[in-house]
C-alpha cells in the first residue's frame, strides 16, 4: 500500500499531456512552496541561484510539453553562440549571415511545429486530394520563447545589446518559468541587467506580488473559467442553437474571458517574478477602455504589440517610406500577428481587420481633424462613444478569433442579424444568473478608475503578513468551490 502511494506521488511529477502544469493548480502551489524553500537561501548567491532556477524552469516546461523541453536547450545554445560570434566580428556579411542562421533556426522550428499542417492543408486543397493532417505536437508557448530569444540576437545584431558572457545567464533569461509558456515576452535588455544585481524583495514588491497573484487568480480561475465552461464555449461551438441575443452576449462573454484569462496569467507571472526579486513590464492596461484601435494595441498584450512594432513593423520600413507604404506595413504586421496566434485563415482575417483599422485610424489622424466637444458633459459623451465603437469593433473581430471555423462565425453573425429575439432576455438572466453576475462583475472591475485600483494595491501591500495569507487563502478557497473537474489551461498556451 505504501509503495502504491509512492508510485502515485511520483506519477504527479511526470509529464501528462492532459494535465499541463499551470499556476492555478494545486500541484504548482505544492512545487512552488518547495521551490521557495530552496530559492530563499540561494537568493543571495549568483551562480547557484541561476542554476537552480534554470533547472526548475526546465522541469516546469517538461511538465507542460514533455521532452520538447529540449527545444529550449537548442534555442538557448544556438542563439547564445550566434550572438557571441556576431559580437566578435565587425564584418557586415558575417554578422548578417549569423543573424540569418538565428532567424532560420527559430522561425524554422516555429514554422514546422505550428504551420506544417496549415500549409499541408492549403496544398492538399489546391491539388484536390484528401487532407490528412500530420501527427505534430505543438509545444506549449513555443511562440513566446522563440520571439523572446530572437529579440536578443536581433538586438545584438543592431548593436543595441552586449551579449552575456556565460551561457547560464542566457539560459536563465530564456527559460525563466513565470513567463515561459504564455508571456509576457520579456526583452533581454530589460531582464539581463537584473541578473547582476543582488536579489532583494522589498515590502512593496512583496505586497504588489501578492496583489497581482490574487487578481490574476481571480480573473482566470473564477471569472474566465466559469463563464467559458458554463456559457461562452457552448455558444461558439453551436451558435445556431442560440438566439442572436444569446450569441451577442456570448461574444461579450468571450471578450471578457480572453482578457481575464490572458491578463490573469500575466498578472500571476509578474507577481511571481516580483516574489523572486525580478521586474517585468505591465502586459495589459485596461484595454477595453481604449478610445481608438491604436490605443487598444498600446494597452492589449503590450509585450507582443511592442515586439511586432520594433522587430517587424520597423524592419519593414515603419512610417519612413511614405503614407501608402506605412499603411501596407501596418497591414502586413497585423496579418503576420494574426498568423502568429494560430495557423488558420480566421486568425489572418482577425489580424487583417485590425491592420486595416489601424491604417484607417492613422490616415484619419493625418487629416488633423480636431473635434473638441465643449463642456464636461460633451467631453464625457464623446469619450463614451469612442470607447463604445472601439470595444464593439474589437468584439466583432473576436468572433473570427474564437469561432472553430469561418462557417460558425458566419452563422453567429446570421443569428444576430436575423434572429436576435430580445424577448429571451429575462429567461436568459434567470437561467444564467451566475454567468450574468460574473460578467457584470468582470466588466465593472475592468472599467474602474486606475486610481481605485492603485488604492486597492496599496491596501493589500500594507496588510500584515497574516492578512496577506488570509486574503490568498480565501481566494484559493473560492477557486476550489467553483473549480471544474477538468483542468482549464490558459488560452494562450496554444500559441
Q: How many CB atoms lie within 10 A of CB 158?
A: 12
Cis peptide before 404 (omega within 30 of 0): no
C-alpha to C-alpha distance for 33 and 224, rounded to whole angstroms = 25
CB 79 within 8 A of CB 86: no
CB 275 within 8 A of CB 201: yes
Interior CA angle at 165 toward 162 and 166, to 5°? 140
pLDDT for 474 equals 86
- DSSP-assigned states of every residue in 53-109: HHHHHHHHHHHHHGGGHHHHHHHHHHHHHHHHHHHH---HHHHHHHHHHHHHHHHHH
C-alpha to C-alpha distance for 233 and 495, rounded to whole angstroms = 19
The C-alpha cell of 261 is what? 484569462
DSSP run (H or E) holding 2:
helix 2-11
Residue 236 DSSP SS3 = helix
pLDDT for 255 equals 96
The C-alpha cell of 181 is what? 509558456
- Spatial neighbors of 346 by CB under 8 A, at least 6 apart, are 400, 401, 403, 405, 406, 409
Count Cβ neighbours within 10 Å for each residue of 17-40 and write b for 16 or more, e otherwise: eebbbbbbbeebeebbeebeeebe
Interior CA angle at 11 toward 9 and 13, to 5°? 85
The C-alpha cell of 359 is what? 491604417
Interior CA angle at 478 toward 434 and 62, to 5°? 110
pLDDT for 3 equals 47
Whole-prediction pTM: 0.89
Alpha helices in 309-405 (DSSP H): 323-341, 345-366, 375-402
Instruction: Convert the pLDDT of each residue in 290-317 to its tens digit.
Output: 999 999 999 999 999 999 999 988 888 8
Intervals of the chain under pLDDT 50: 1-4, 485
Q: Taking the chain, what is the end-to-end CA distance rounded to the nearest angstrom?
A: 42
pLDDT for 18 equals 64
C-alpha to C-alpha distance for 407 and 400, rounded to whole angstroms = 10
Catalytic residue among 301, 341, 354, 446: 341
Instruction: Select from 45, 42, 41, 76 the least CA-distant residue to 58.
Output: 76
Catalytic residue check, 446: no
C-alpha to C-alpha distance for 387 and 3, rounded to whole angstroms = 61
pLDDT for 133 equals 84
pLDDT for 490 equals 55
Q: How many CB atoms lie within 10 A of CB 332?
A: 16
- Please tell me the number of Cα atoms within 13 Å of 347 on its side-chain side: 12
Amino acid at each position: 500500500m505504501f509503495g502504491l502511494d509512492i508510485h502515485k506521488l511520483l506519477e504527479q511529477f511526470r509529464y501528462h499531456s492532459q494535465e499541463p502544469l499551470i499556476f492555478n493548480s494545486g500541484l504548482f502551489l505544492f512545487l512552488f512552496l518547495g521551490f521557495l524553500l530552496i530559492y530563499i537561501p540561494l537568493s543571495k548567491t549568483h551562480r547557484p541561484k541561476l542554476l537552480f532556477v534554470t533547472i526548475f524552469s526546465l522541469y516546469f516546461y517538461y511538465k507542460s510539453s514533455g521532452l520538447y523541453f529540449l527545444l529550449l536547450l537548442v534555442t538557448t545554445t544556438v542563439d547564445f553562440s550566434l550572438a557571441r560570434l556576431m559580437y566578435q566580428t565587425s564584418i557586415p556579411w558575417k554578422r548578417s549571415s549569423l543573424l540569418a542562421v538565428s532567424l532560420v533556426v527559430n522561425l524554422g522550428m516555429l514554422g514546422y511545429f505550428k504551420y506544417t499542417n496549415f500549409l499541408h492543408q492549403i496544398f492538399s486543397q489546391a491539388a484536390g486530394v484528401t487532407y490528412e493532417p500530420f501527427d505534430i505536437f505543438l509545444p506549449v508557448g513555443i511562440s513566446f520563447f522563440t520571439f523572446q530569444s530572437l529579440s536578443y540576437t536581433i538586438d545584438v545584431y543592431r548593436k543595441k545589446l552586449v551579449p552575456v558572457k556565460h551561457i547560464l545567464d542566457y539560459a536563465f533569461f530564456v527559460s525563466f518559468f513565470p513567463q515561459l509558456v504564455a508571456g509576457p515576452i520579456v526583452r533581454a535588455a530589460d531582464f539581463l541587467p537584473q541578473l547582476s544585481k543582488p536579489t532583494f524583495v522589498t515590502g512593496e514588491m512583496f505586497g504588489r506580488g501578492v496583489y497581482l497573484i490574487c487578481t490574476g487568480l481571480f480573473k482566470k480561475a473564477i471569472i474566465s473559467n466559469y463563464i467559458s465552461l458554463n456559457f461562452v464555449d457552448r455558444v461558439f461551438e453551436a451558435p445556431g442553437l442560440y438566439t442572436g441575443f444569446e450569441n451577442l452576449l456570448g461574444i461579450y462573454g468571450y471578450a471578457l474571458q480572453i482578457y481575464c484569462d490572458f491578463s490573469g496569467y500575466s498578472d500571476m507571472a509578474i507577481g511571481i517574478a516580483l516574489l523572486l526579486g525580478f521586474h517585468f513590464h505591465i502586459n495589459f492596461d485596461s484595454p477595453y477602455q481604449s478610445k481608438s484601435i491604436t490605443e487598444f494595441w498600446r494597452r492589449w498584450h503590450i509585450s507582443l504589440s511592442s515586439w511586432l512594432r520594433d522587430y517587424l513593423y520597423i524592419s519593414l520600413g515603419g512610417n519612413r517610406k511614405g503614407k501608402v507604404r506605412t499603411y501596407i506595413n501596418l497591414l502586413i504586421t497585423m496579418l503576420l500577428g494574426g498568423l502568429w496566434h494560430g495557423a488558420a485563415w480566421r486568425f489572418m482575417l482577425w489580424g487583417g481587420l485590425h491592420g486595416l483599422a489601424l491604417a484607417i485610424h492613422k490616415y484619419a489622424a493625418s487629416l488633423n481633424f480636431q473635434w473638441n466637444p465643449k463642456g464636461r458633459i460633451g467631453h464625457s459623451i464623446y469619450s463614451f462613444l469612442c470607447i463604445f465603437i472601439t470595444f464593439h469593433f474589437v468584439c466583432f473581430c473576436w468572433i473570427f478569433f474564437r469561432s472553430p471555423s469561418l462557417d460558425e462565425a458566419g452563422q453567429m453573425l446570421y443569428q444576430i442579424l436575423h434572429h436576435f429575439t430580445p424577448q429571451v432576455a429575462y429567461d436568459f438572466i434567470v437561467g444564467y444568473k451566475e454567468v450574468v453576475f460574473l460578467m457584470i462583475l468582470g466588466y465593472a472591475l475592468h472599467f474602474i478608475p486606475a486610481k481605485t485600483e492603485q488604492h486597492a494595491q496599496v491596501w493589500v501591500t500594507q496588510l500584515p503578513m497574516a492578512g496577506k495569507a488570509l486574503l490568498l487563502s480565501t481566494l484559493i478557497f473560492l477557486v476550489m468551490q467553483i473549480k471544474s473537474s477538468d483542468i482549464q489551461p490558459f488560452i494562450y498556451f496554444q500559441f
